[in-house]
Amino acid sequence: MATYLVTGGAGFIGSNLVHELVKRGNKVIVVDSLHTGSRELISDTGAEFYHMRVEEFFKKGAWKGIDGIFHLGKPSSSPMYRENREKILESVNGTLAVLEMAKELNVKLVTASSSSLYNGLEPPHREDMIIKPTDFYTEARLVEERLAKVYQDLYGVRWSAMRFFSVYGPREEYKKNYANLISQFIWSYMKNEKPLIYGDGSQRRDFVFVDDVVNALILAMNRDVNGIFNVGTGKSYSLNDVISIIKREMGTDLEPKYIENPVKNYVMVTLADTSKSRKVLGFEAKENIEGGIRKTLNYYLNNLKR
């Protein structure tokens, strides 16, 4: 049995990871500020829980005896950074804290990054592309990836930065308006409201189910490799495609509401080149878009009934 630290373990992706780690017989320590999470998501896991930010946990010194670190506890949506630029410092400080822990403990660090780094680049998106940050969120993620490489070069820290594409699935309800579009569309239809779409709905996303993301994180932890890895499916679907699937699954004819896109630097297409992750990590997404939406819908119908 291994002991893992999961920062952000009471959030969306983190809580799904905690459940899987516990299911596999591991001990889990969760650190979470509960900004977009809840202890309810992991209440039945037996995980040890600390309600604080990552840098506070580091200063507390309660991190001995850890065999690996999953760092998901960071502001995870571009609008958060536009609304409060200090989120950049919060994100970088948290990453510095886990890098210091990984250095002192000599353990592997697997940290969340984002496909938003590819904004402005032609798909399919590869890890070796030259990144040109377009907002505060992507700038923070790029700094964190570079810091990990510096820690590797100076101190031998082992790390993997996972560039998540458009992650959706169960346990995202506490992210509210920061949640993935699939979840938001489902929630709108559950309230018999028209989902809101910017533009004409032709924009495309590489939607990846959260169970596949959890699998990628664990594979990265167990591989003796460093560097950046895409976590996507290698397939891209338009928002109109997603709406059609959700409407069919929910038996509704309610059409979405289309409005002019108000977001500057809006990403029109994301599509992961998954060849590196497949070759180096052995990762390949298993869930197709129809099955993932069905599982997500069933979760919310069972857990968010009004």
Q: Which CATH superfamily is domain 168-204+236-271+290-303 in?
A: UDP-galactose 4-epimerase, domain 1 (3.90.25.10)
Q: Which tokens hold the place of 94?
A: 């948290």
Q: Grade residue 76 by pLDDT with cuts at 50, 70 and 90.
A: confident
Q: Grade residue 53 by pLDDT with cuts at 50, 70 and 90.
A: very high
Query: Residue 305: its pLDDT value, please?
Result: 60
Nearest alpha-carbon partner for 251 in 284, 296, 297: 297
pLDDT in tens, 272-293: 999 999 999 999 999 999 999 9
pLDDT in tens, 212-248: 999 999 999 999 999 999 999 999 999 999 999 999 9
pLDDT in tens, 78-108: 777 777 787 888 889 999 999 999 999 999 9
Q: Grade residue 306 by pLDDT with cuts at 50, 70 and 90.
A: very low
Nearest alpha-carbon partner for 301 in 195, 177, 167, 191: 191
Nearest alpha-carbon partner for 72 in 136, 144, 155, 178: 144
- Map out the domains of the chain as residue ranges: 3-167+209-232+273-286, 168-204+236-271+290-303
Helical spans, DSSP H, in the chain: 12-23, 54-60, 78-83, 87-105, 136-155, 181-190, 210-222, 239-250, 275-276, 289-303
* Average pLDDT score over residue span 162-176: 96
Classify each residue of 59-98 as buried b or exposed e, where b means 16 or more C-beta atoms within 10 Å of its C-beta: eeeebeebebbbbbbbbbbbebbeeeeebbebbbebbbbb
Query: Residue 62: its pLDDT value, please?
Result: 78
Q: Which helix (H) or strand (E) holds 61?
A: none
How confident is the prediction for the chain on average, in pLDDT?
94
Identify whether the C-beta of residue 97 lies closer than 8 Å to the C-beta of residue 39: no
Q: Residue 256 pLDDT > 90, yes or no?
A: yes
Report the amino acid identity of residue 90: E
Identify whether the C-beta of residue 169 lies closer than 8 Å to the C-beta of residue 296: yes
Query: Residue 208: its pLDDT value, please?
Result: 98
Q: Which of 4, 50, 81, 137 is catalytic?
A: 137
* Fold annotation for 3-167+209-232+273-286: Rossmann fold (3.40.50)
* Average pLDDT score over residue span 264-271: 86
In angstroms, the CA 17 to CA 214 distance is: 5
Q: Residue 4 pLDDT > 70, yes or no?
A: yes
In angstroms, the CA 42 to CA 298 distance is: 19
137 is catalytic: yes
